[in-house]
Amino acid sequence: MTVRRVTFGVLIAGMMLAAAPALAGPDNAAQKFEHGQKLLADGNFAEALRAFTAAAKAAPDNEEYRQQAALLRRVIKMQQMMASQEETPRWLSMSEALHTYYHENGVYAEALVLDRKVHAQLNTGDSAARLARSELALGMNAEAAKLLGDLPAEQATPEIRMLTGIALARQGQTDDARSILADCQPPEKAGCQFLCDRARLCALVGDTDGALKMLTCCFEQCPPGQLCGCRAGVKRCEDFTGLQDSPGFAKALATQSKVKGGCCGGKAAGNCDKPCGDKGKQKAGCKGKKPDRPCTGQPKQEDDQP
Amino acid sequence: MKTTRRVIQLAFLILTIVSVFVLRGDAERWCPFGGVEALYTYATAGSMTCSLGVSNFYILGALLLLTLLLRRAFCGYMCPLGAVFEGLQAGARRLGMRPLTVPYRLDRALALLKYAVLAIILYFTWTIGELVFRGYDPCYALISRHGTDITWWAYVISGVFVLASLLILVPFCRWFCPLAAVFAPFSRLGLTRVKRSDETCVDCGVCNRACPMGIQVDKLAQVTAARCTSCLDCIAACPRKDSGALYWGPPNRLGRRWPPAVIVVGVLLSVGVAVAATYAFPLPSFVWTRGKPSGPTATVQLDIYNLTCRGKSRTLVSFLERDDEFALHGHLKLEAWPGPAAAAAHITYDPAQVTATAIREAITEPYYDADTGEWMHSPFKIAGYDPLDLED
């Protein structure tokens, strides 16, 4: 009887020991990945890369960890190359790529520094808009409003007017924001970004129906490969906080893209387990598992930066 | 002969099940009907419909030749679905369930349905470029390990045919199989056939009852019906076969009797030829070229993971054509064999402008698409290349 108990106990212990790495692995990898995301948000790129790489090693089957590590490695190299890049067009295209990465990963402080350099060099409406987005993401509403307000009239594109309205609405200047909303109607082929900005502005001035209508249009215009990222960004955007209890918000979020897409080789055939974009590429972060950051809206209170 | 046929059928069925469920291979790459579906895209675009490969062409070609020689011997000896349905029918007989007799005219009318099935499948597959009926295909339900796009309809349809097979002789094979429709014109021209001797036949009708395809053997001097599968069950059942009432062989003018072992050899040869052709002459499923070589070229052979279909092949091309710091200049040629696990890709390049390392980087490094403003991950991993040093 004692022998049986001892044997049984050894067996159980052995099974637990054997299962421990398997049980610890995924959790351990997830912890490392989450730690990497926090480091990245703080602008600590080197340590974040180490964390992502460690997560990818701990969970070799997890594509997302490997891809995020590869992307961050690429971004770090790009940052180093930018420092010595003398060709302006190349420098600008790198800055655009880095700006996109910073905003998708909530590294707004780095985005602000970069966008200030770009705007100082170019001083165009587009560079101002990009800088304003970074300022708005960091809650620098007054600075964004001043930057956009100081632009010459000919540079006041619909995008810039929407961003101006958002900056004003956040500062409580609702009447001015409403007049921008009324004056600036969506262009005929408004892009996804413009529609999302307009939805934010509608939400900030209290036009719930308008916000939901714009959100629906935004998702309908969004290419299928970008839809999940767009949806995730809207869910996290603080400007839409007032809408989240609205019955139409969930319905708007569920809107499907009307843009033709899918794998050019056949969307249901093959071994594709996720929809591809128009060029068949996999958008970074399309699983929607981004760090807990709004991609276009106001950050959470604890992340306010001076 | 009947036992030999059953053994061959069982062997192919076991081979299919082991390949799909034990070795977890991609049985679709050996489906002859896949070759039919891929013909249009390969002829017009030089690449295959997703999940298919040149092995489909080779097996289709080998089986068409087999059909010209031995009629629908594939159906009678190799098809796993046919083996399942015939096995169910045999089991039903043992339980005392006799199959329903379908009136001849009705049987002939229903046999036309398979041409409609073929036309519909090919129309949508060829015009859309997708295997749109894959999710409803009872054969795919058997070999897909519950594939990604299988629908519950496939199991319903399979269930209907399983039940029907208990009551009627192989209804799917007789009336609905699109591959049978493809084989029909070749089978009609089949070199060999069952022949009946008026002198020794006693018109007992046993051959009719034995024929799984409902052919009225006792009314024919030679069975040249397209639906004949050369199963030779009619000969096996004939009480006067030793007197030559029924025998099998080439057309009368040759005046010789051929042993059924020819069928067995024919079946095995066709499979052997298809397998040999696939591995000895592996034509790439996807070919893309940019520019012309201006001098000597070099080729790098890579095993790439996630290069599973034509769509992914085009993704690979877009990474090879990237315009950032990993851009590849000069002549490039990609020959790919998309497939599950590690797919082969041969990339020919100008060594004066590009290196093999640069090609690996171009394929695997994330890419910023300035047109769409998006970062794109590369879905590809190259065997033996680990830029992140993840493998210890």
Chain A residues whose CB is inside 8 A of the B365 CB are 70, 74
Chain B residues whose CB is inside 8 A of the A87 CB are none
CB contact under 8 A, A280 and B50: no
User: Among B148-157, B180-189, B203-212, whose mean pLDDT is lowest?
Assistant: B148-157
B40 or B379, greater pLDDT: B379
| pLDDT band, residue A293 (cuts 50/70/90) | very low
Q: Are B51 and A269 in contact (CB under 8 A)?
A: yes
B102-152, pLDDT tens digit by residue?
A: 888 888 899 999 999 888 888 877 776 666 677 777 777 777 777 666 777
CB contact under 8 A, A268 and B378: no
CB contact under 8 A, B374 and A283: yes
Distance of residue A221 Cα from the nearest chain B Cα, in angstroms = 13
Q: Are B114 and B72 in contact (CB under 8 A)?
A: no
How much of chain B, in percent, has pLDDT values that exceed 90?
A: 21
Q: Is A62's pLDDT higher than 80?
A: yes
Q: Please give the Cα distance from B147 to B151 (Å, whole number).
A: 9
* Mean pLDDT taken over chain B: 84
* Mean pLDDT taken over chain A: 78
A282 touches chain B (CB under 8 A): yes
Q: Please give the Cα distance from A55 to B176 (Å, whole number).
A: 52
**Which segment, B114-123, B224-233, B359-368, is predicted with the most confidence on average?**
B359-368
Q: Are A204 and A181 in contact (CB under 8 A)?
A: no
Q: What is the pTM of this model?
A: 0.64
Kindly provide the ipTM of the predicted complex, given to two decimals: 0.72
Give the pLDDT score at A168.
93
Type of residue found at A149: G
Query: By C-alpha distance, which of B255, B262, B256, B208 is closest to B235?
Result: B208
A89 touches chain B (CB under 8 A): no
Query: By C-alpha distance, which of B315, B325, B268, B260 is closest to B288?
Result: B315
Q: Are B387 and A76 in contact (CB under 8 A)?
A: no
CB contact under 8 A, A263 and B309: yes
Query: By C-alpha distance, which of A93, A70, A178 is closest to B390?
Result: A70
First to last CA, chain A: 71
Q: Is A304's pLDDT higher than 70?
A: no
Residues A164-177, mean pLDDT to the nearest whole number = 92
CB contact under 8 A, A66 and B364: no
Give the pLDDT score at A158.
87
